[in-house]
């Protein structure tokens, strides 16, 4: 997505890029201002959400022409739950909302936490948001519903947005701040205290992206990988999160890599639009 008001779908060759790609597989046209957010549906085939500065949220079936659902809103962050039947959003008014993505109906809203980012915690049936408290401290909040917080913690007085990343296989949560290189990591559970602080990585270089789980070094016990852009050296540097184990080259660590979601869709876009929910 970009400032030309379009969303483009690209095919990356199976063996990687050998030359620059100049032609998109499909261009989705439906927004009139810059597109800021795109998010694939977690279970439905070819279903894509886009949000732009024209106060439109569009759900596209990319196998067809045109958007299939339109909601009026300007969003800062979106997250589907594990079967895609609910959509958590934060918007310009900094409130957390849970929405029925098929109908656009608001199911719950909480207005006393100024949220920037929101993330469904798959497997634990919880929702996590990051934002700021009434005292302007950076804050993370955990919910089982939006009637009241299940857990909340003020972290520091910095101004940068906190980006949450969650690994449902290890129940690990990573918080990376915009504009700084620090990464806090936690373990989440369904029982009190719900969130346990583990450690913090500190650096002056901010992170720019993460590696999908399928690209990790499983025989090296790598459980997460960030990437940093070092502009002065024209270099992209990986930052790996590794669990120390003995004889890692000889034994596959099944507890670190349990059965997980695959890359095959559980339902078609049409089935989901008709109301069928199915997890991966």
Q: How far apart are CA 22 and CA 43, in angstroms?
A: 29
pLDDT for the residue 145:
86
Q: Thinking of the domain 76-204, which architecture would CATH place it in?
A: 7 Propeller (2.130)
Q: How far apart are CA 79 and CA 129, in angstroms?
A: 10
pLDDT for the residue 15:
83
What confidence tens digit (pLDDT) does each residue in 164-203 have?
Answer: 999 999 999 999 988 778 899 999 999 999 999 999 998 8
Q: What is the biggest distance separating any 2 CA atoms in the chain, rounded to whole angstroms?
A: 56
Q: How far apart are CA 39 and CA 76, in angstroms?
A: 12
What confidence tens digit (pLDDT) does each residue in 114-124 have?
Answer: 889 999 998 88
Q: Work out the percent of the chain whose per-residue pLDDT is above 70.
A: 99
pLDDT for the residue 41:
95
Q: How far apart are CA 33 and CA 90, in angstroms?
A: 19
What's the whole-number mean pLDDT along residues 27-40? 93
Q: Work out the percent of the chain whose per-residue pLDDT is above 90.
A: 54
Q: Is the pLDDT of residue 249 over 90?
A: no
196 phi, psi to nearest 5 deg: -120, 120
Q: How far apart are CA 10 and CA 230, in angstroms?
A: 26
User: 220, 209, 272: which is closest to 242 by C-alpha?
Assistant: 220
Beta-bridge partner residues of 69: 59
Distances (CA, A) of 78 to 15, 18, 96, 164, 224: 31, 33, 10, 12, 22
Nearby residues of 234 by Cβ (< 8 Å), 6 or more positions away? none
Long-range contacts of 206-210 (CB under 8 A, 24+ apart): 206/176, 206/177, 206/178, 206/179, 206/180, 206/181, 207/176, 207/181, 207/183, 207/239, 208/236, 210/165
Q: Is the pLDDT of residue 260 over 90?
A: no
Cα dihedral 227, 218, 256, 172, rounded to 10, equals 0
Q: How far apart are CA 82 and CA 9, in angstroms?
A: 23
What residues does CATH 2.130.10.10 cover in the chain? 76-204
Q: What is the mean pLDDT of the chain?
A: 89
Q: Is the pLDDT of residue 60 over 80?
A: yes
48 phi, psi to nearest 5 deg: -130, 135
pLDDT for the residue 163:
93
User: Quick check: bond before 193 cis, omega within 30?
Assistant: yes
pLDDT for the residue 65:
62
Q: How far apart are CA 249 and CA 8, in angstroms?
A: 41
Highest average pLDDT, of 78-92, 99-113, 224-238, comes from: 78-92
Angle at CA of residue 77, ends 173 and 215, nearest 5°: 50
Q: Is the pLDDT of residue 219 over 70?
A: yes
pLDDT for the residue 158:
83
Q: How far apart are CA 82 and CA 273, in angstroms?
A: 16
Q: Is the pLDDT of residue 35 over 90?
A: yes
pLDDT for the residue 98:
93
pLDDT for the residue 43:
94
What confidence tens digit (pLDDT) does each residue in 123-143 have?
Answer: 888 999 999 887 888 999 999
């Amino acid at each position: 997505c970009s400032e030309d008001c379009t969303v483009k779908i690209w095919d990356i060759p199976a063996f990687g890029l050998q030359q620059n790609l100049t032609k998109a597989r499909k261009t989705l046209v439906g927004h009139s201002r810059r597109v800021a957010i795109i998010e694939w549906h977690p279970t439905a085939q070819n279903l894509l959400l886009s949000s732009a500065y024209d106060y439109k949220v569009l759900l596209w079936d990319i196998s067809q022409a045109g958007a299939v659902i339109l909601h009026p809103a300007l969003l800062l962050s979106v997250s589907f739950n594990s079967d895609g039947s609910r959509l958590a959003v934060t918007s310009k008014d900094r409130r957390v909302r849970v929405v029925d993505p098929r109908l656009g109906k608001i199911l719950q809203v909480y207005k006393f936490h100024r949220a920037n980012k929101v993330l469904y915690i798959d497997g634990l049936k919880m929702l996590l948001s990051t934002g700021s408290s009434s005292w302007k401290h950076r804050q993370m909040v955990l919910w089982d519903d939006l009637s009241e917080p299940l857990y909340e913690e003020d972290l520091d007085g910095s101004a940068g947005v906190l980006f949450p990343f969650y690994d449902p296989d290890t129940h690990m949560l990573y918080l990376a701040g915009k504009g700084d290189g620090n990464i806090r990591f936690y373990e989440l559970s369904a029982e009190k205290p719900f969130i346990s602080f583990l450690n913090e990585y500190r650096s002056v270089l901010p992170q720019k992206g993460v590696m999908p789980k399928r690209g990790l070094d499983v025989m090296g016990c790598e459980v997460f990988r960030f990437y940093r852009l070092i502009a002065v050296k024209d270099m992209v540097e990986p930052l790996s999160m590794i669990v120390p184990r003995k004889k890692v080259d000889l034994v596959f660590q099944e507890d670190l890599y349990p059965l997980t979601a695959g890359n095959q869709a559980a339902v078609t876009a049409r089935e989901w639009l008709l109301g069928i929910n199915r997890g991966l």
